[in-house]
Amino acid sequence: MTDRVLVAGIGNVFLGDDAFGVEVVRRIDPATLPPGAEVADYGIRGVHLAYELLDRRHETLILVDAMPLDGPPGTLAVLEADPSGETGPPSLDGHGMHPQAVLHLLRTLGGAVDRVLIVGCRPADVTERMGLSEPVAAAVDEAVGLVTELVHQVLSDRGAEYASA
């Protein structure tokens, strides 16, 4: 079995700090990631992400997104989400599906992902404008390192699980 991790940057580049996930994946150098890792900008295309997960089996999904967190703008956190997306039926807005709605749609379509991690950043400004606020822009490089570290950890943990089985 080949382990696969998909790192998906999500967000709207026309809503200021909502573009955090898009900017993080843009800056990740795929050459720094182990085999089995893919990085993609999904922006506001939640339905596309669900179909990508359906078509190509990934054991782990790492979503990178702006999200309400405790702390000042620019605060980063890693959260583990319920991969089933069990939060009720998704709102099928192809341009604004939140992560749980994407996971619910995936499950409804007959797909699954084993594990979902979210690397989130607290936004300062999600009004209609281009560009990240200063505190969120300052968190991008740290988030790139965090995502890269998570990918290595997930793939090495999976390898260790199969080696000991």
Number of structural domains found in the chain = 1
pTM of the model: 0.87
Which CATH number covers residue 64? 3.40.50.1450
Buried b (16+ CB within 10 A) or exposed e, 114-144: ebbbbbbbbbbbbeeeeebbebbeebbeebb
Domain limits for position 74: 5-164
Query: pLDDT of 16-27, one tens digit each?
Result: 999 999 999 999
Q: Which of 14, 121, 4 is nearest to 73 (CA)?
A: 121
Query: pLDDT of 53-76, one tens digit each?
Result: 887 788 999 999 999 999 999 999
Q: Checking DSSP bridges between strand 76-81 and strand 115-121, what pairing results, if any?
A: antiparallel
Query: pLDDT of 126-164, one tens digit each?
Result: 999 999 999 999 999 999 999 999 999 999 875 444 333
Percent of the chain, pLDDT > 90?
62
Running DSSP on this structure, what letter comes out for residue 56? Answer: S
